[in-house]
Structure 1
Amino acid sequence: MIKRGITGLSVLVVLILGTSVSSAAADDAPAAPTHPGPVYATVTDQSGKLSLQTFGRPDGKDMVFRISGSVYANIEGNSLDPALRHGQKLFNIEGYNIRRLYRVPETNQLYQLSREIVFYTDPADPQRVVREWRNPIDGKTYPVVPINNDAVNFGPFPITPSYVGPPLRRSHDETIWTSDIGVRADLGGTLGERFGLTGGVYAAQEMFDFSVDEREVAARTRSGVPSGAMETKISWARTSPWAPFMCLPETEVRGQLTYHARSWSLDSYRDIEPWLRAEVEQNHPLFKAAPGAPGASENSWTSFHNKQLGKGATTWAGWCAANGRP
């Protein structure tokens, strides 16, 4: 979950070679003032062009990073066995981040605007969304809350001809780069809610590997403004505290979660599999599109605070007490 900050999370294959690049000048209609293309077109650095195309489509339309993976228990010394075993697969995860590039009108400032929805699914059946989870430590059953962050925004960041991206490497026929992020957030201090975390601080590690085929690199780094989404693959791993809905206080139940997922780009929301779109449209229709303008961001924990705790109307401990079913 591409997450920068706490989510990670947030994350990416659809363009046909030879049809993926077009010039902004070919469009006779004037660009909207928030269109990122004119600013993107000033970038000359190959890495800068590639990294910007993971933030969003340079043509200003929505793109998707489809996310698929698993979640495991990471327990020091296997100390919770047999109730909860180290290395035990607890869930599959299936979802996506939908994003766009947004230009602040009349400036060279760009934002990445996105929403992300990721469902915890059956460890034996990735397409079966898990609605409840039995906590093996206290024996109670809790409602499963998906990762549903509205929104996940970054920026503004200035784009000039000197804009550069991360260091690139070649691996066989692919160009690759990485992003490793150590996350620390004082939720107790900012939200007044400690979530059972040590010192009220959320601490996690997010690790991303990006890869783009050499033919796609050549097609997507020519002059002009590419259309569609760049064919990108991502490997994502996160080690983080127990998810809030699990009602496992870190201060009392030693252990963490390890997320391991793959992500790949899709041209638009309509390219997501029907079963996943049906789940979104029935229960989370807001996540069919990226935000239209910059605004406040959420992560898995602030989202839980805003939606499940009513922005502090109830406490995390109170939510667990009210929702835990024997």
Structure 2
Amino acid sequence: MIRRRFTGLLAPLAIFLSTGIPGVAAHDGAGGPTHPGPVYATVTDKSAKLSLQTFGRPDGKDMVFRISGSVYANIEGNALDPAMRHGQKLFNIEGYNIRRLYRVPDTNQLYQLSREIVFYTDPADPRRVLREWKNPIDGRTYPVVPINNDLVNFGPFPITSSFAGPPLQQLHDETVWTSDIPVRTDLGATLGERFGLTGGVYAAQEMFDFSVDDREVAARTGPGVPAGAMKTKISWARTSPWAPFMCLAESDVRGQLTYHARSWSLGSYSQVEPWLRAEVEANHPLYRAAPSEPGPSENSWTSFYNKQLGKGATTWTQWCADQGRA
């Protein structure tokens, strides 16, 4: 398989890609030139079939990877204690990535198209979405900006009968595979905004474990185009700089964040829990559906740049000065 990457929280390298090709304006889940099924049906490799079914449903409809976990302070030498101690749980995170497979019309090229919305929630109550956070280093309170990446895409990648997937491992009654990805991008150079990052460079480590029950593997790797979403579990960990809304300059405040989360597949947006859907529908209704065609991708930093900084109309430093209150 060509360079295995997973979108947004589930594909950290793809978030920095910018793509744009002609496409249709509506989902094509019931057949038509962008339906992925005919291309998927040409795949013969078991691992390729499994990995493609984590990219999206082969029947072309939306699926969801629900994300749930926690975020911890990772502080070398416990240098910020007692204001913030190493290993302190700062947030829970609750949200999802909604995605689908898209075929470039009249080709064997596929995209994974997705959006993701993940809320920072109370460390003692995962269902209480945080609206503000008090920075223990400067004592100021800042608005909490959720992870809200639109779009998050991967592709295009060609699908042929020789398309191969990642190495698989058998662990008890599950088939598993991994993807460990170092991420580095110079935001100072690409955006003209350094976000307080050392050298203006975003550097992180993303680590994923995928697992599928052997009965599900057997049911979904035969010939043809399976319907629905494959039952998949993911373990995800990320070490990365302080989130932009925290207004902590990595170059000045020693430390990083460690994210540790679980993710599991759902067949559609309607299967997301009511409390989470209510938050999305009240404040982020765009995230009820996957994109209908490719476009430029975002990550937490480029999304913050686009939405909070007005694509450079203000700086991160000025945003922190304006938004923080004593």
1:56 match: 56
Paired residues of 2:15 and 2:297 also in contact (CA < 8 A): no
Give the SS at the match of 1:310: coil
1:189 has 2:189 as partner: yes
One-letter identity of the residue aligned with 1:56: G
1:2 match: 10
- Extract unaligned runs of 5+ from structure 2: 1-8, 17-28
- State TM-score, norm by structure 1: 0.93
One-letter identity of the residue aligned with 2:134: R
One-letter identity of the residue aligned with 1:2: L
Cα distance between partner residues in 2 of 1:4 and 1:87: 23
**CA offsets 1:28-61 (integer angstroms, 9 cap, x no match):** x982100000000000000000000000000000
Question: How many residues are aligned here?
Answer: 306
Cα distance between partner residues in 2 of 1:246 and 1:30: 43
2:301 match: 301
One-letter identity of the residue aligned with 1:240: S
Paired residues of 2:166 and 2:177 also in contact (CA < 8 A): yes
Identity %: 82
Deviation (angstroms), 1:5: 2.0
Q: How does 1:189-208 map to 2 (within 5 A)?
A: 189-208=189-208
**CA offsets 1:194-217 (integer angstroms, 9 cap, x no match):** 000000000000000000000000
- State TM-score, norm by structure 2: 0.93
**CA offsets 1:228-260 (integer angstroms, 9 cap, x no match):** 000000000000000000000001000000000
Cα distance between partner residues in 2 of 1:105 and 1:283: 34
Cα distance between partner residues in 1 of 2:15 and 2:208: 12
Give the SS at the match of 2:152: coil
Deviation (angstroms), 1:2: 1.6
Paired residues of 1:69 and 1:261 also in contact (CA < 8 A): yes
2:251 match: 251
1:217 match: 217
One-letter identity of the residue aligned with 1:106: D
Cα distance between partner residues in 2 of 1:80 and 1:232: 39
One-letter identity of the residue aligned with 1:219: A
Give the SS at the match of 2:311: helix
- Extract unaligned runs of 5+ from structure 1: 9-28
Cα distance between partner residues in 1 of 2:204 and 2:15: 9
1:88 match: 88
Cα distance between partner residues in 2 of 1:140 and 1:6: 34
Paired residues of 2:30 and 2:59 also in contact (CA < 8 A): no
Cα distance between partner residues in 2 of 1:271 and 1:122: 23
Cα distance between partner residues in 1 of 2:97 and 2:197: 27
1:14 match: none
2:268 match: 268
2:20 match: none
Give the SS at the match of 2:85: coil
Q: Tell me the C-alpha RMSD between the 2 structures.
A: 1.2
**CA offsets 1:294-321 (integer angstroms, 9 cap, x no match):** 1100000000000000000000000000
Paired residues of 2:14 and 2:152 also in contact (CA < 8 A): no
Q: How does 1:116-155 map to 2 (within 5 A)?
A: 116-155=116-155
